[in-house]
């Protein structure tokens, strides 16, 4: 609901500090719905390459278009890591300002796992699974 650009600035700092993402705004649409000048500045589409050929994409929701953000109508993003340290590092960075977090723990299924709801209301899961040496 209007924080997509702020969220992606934060995610760029976490995942790819050297990357500058491009933002397409609602005002860039030809023949789109009638919008206020403030709504025209909101994010229609943004993409941020992170790692492993994964891309985060986002858009602002507009009340005038009937959008309503509720925790649960967004997505939990699950990340798999190559080491415990890497998993812990990303957990610590994404959980800054969080509202709900599990911490990173060794789990019964053999994973080092955690989950947090970041300050933008996006739920992230982090997992490192040690390779089977056999």
Fold of 76-129: 2,3-Dihydroxybiphenyl 1,2-Dioxygenase; domain 1 (3.10.180)
Sequence spans of domains, the chain: 4-65, 76-129
User: What is the tens place of the pLDDT at every residue in 99-116?
Assistant: 778 899 998 778 899 989
Q: How far apart are CA 86 and CA 122, in angstroms?
A: 20
Q: How far apart are CA 54 and CA 106, in angstroms?
A: 26
Measured at the CA of 49, the angle between CA 102 and CA 25, to 5 degrees, comes to 100
Q: How far apart are CA 86 and CA 112, in angstroms?
A: 11
Rg (CA), the chain: 17
User: What is the tens place of the pLDDT at every residue in 52-77?
Assistant: 777 787 888 887 777 776 665 566 78
Q: What is the pLDDT of residue 38?
A: 92
pTM of the model: 0.67
Please tell me which of 43-47, 72-76, 81-85 the model is most confident about, judged by mean pLDDT: 81-85
Is 60 exceeded by the pLDDT of residue 46? Answer: yes
């Amino acid at each position: 609901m209007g924080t997509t650009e702020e969220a992606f600035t934060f995610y760029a700092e976490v995942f790819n500090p050297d990357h500058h993402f491009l933002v397409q705004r609602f005002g860039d649409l030809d023949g789109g719905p009638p919008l206020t000048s403030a709504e025209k500045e909101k994010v229609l589409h943004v993409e941020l390459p992170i790692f492993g050929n994964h891309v985060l994409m986002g858009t602002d929701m507009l009340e005038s278009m009937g959008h309503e953000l509720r925790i649960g109508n967004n997505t939990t993003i699950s990340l798999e890591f190559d080491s415990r340290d890497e998993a812990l590092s990303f957990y610590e960075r994404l959980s800054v300002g969080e509202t709900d977090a599990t911490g990173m723990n060794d789990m019964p299924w053999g994973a080092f796992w955690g989950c947090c709801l970041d300050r933008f209301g996006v739920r992230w899961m982090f997992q490192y699974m040690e390779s089977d040496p056999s």
